[in-house]
Amino acid sequence: MTKAELVQKIHAKSGLATKTQAESALDALVETLTEAMKAGDPVTFTGFGSFKVAQRAARKGRNPRTGKEINIPAGKAVKFTPGKALKEAVK
């Protein structure tokens, strides 16, 4: 699903007057989630799932093109854990 398709579905289901309002609501949600994640705060939607920032340790990897071993630095990654309701809906 693309952002445009998501905006269209939000517009249809939310009762917002225009697609522009639906897109603004989606943009505000994404911006708010991004700000919370940058601050290190977990974000939880009961039944849907939770997002959290996890620290990834430095590790060794391999360049797939050359086969040469490389060092991958430590960093942060976003982890998503689906909630029970989402898991059941997808089954």
Over residues 64-83, the pLDDT tens digits come to: 999 999 999 999 999 999 99
Look up the domain containing 22 and give its range: 1-39
The model's pTM is: 0.75
Does residue 54 register a pLDDT over 90? yes
Residues 73 and 89 occupy one common structural domain: yes
| Amino acid 15: pLDDT | 87
Pair 9, 19: CB distance under 8 Å = no
Residues 14 and 51 occupy one common structural domain: no
| Amino acid 75: pLDDT | 95
Residues 87 and 47 occupy one common structural domain: yes
Does residue 20 register a pLDDT over 90? yes
Residues 25 and 65 occupy one common structural domain: no
Residues 62 and 82 occupy one common structural domain: yes
- pLDDT digits over 21-46, tens only? 999 999 999 999 999 999 999 999 99
Residues 54 and 28 occupy one common structural domain: no
Residues 28 and 56 occupy one common structural domain: no
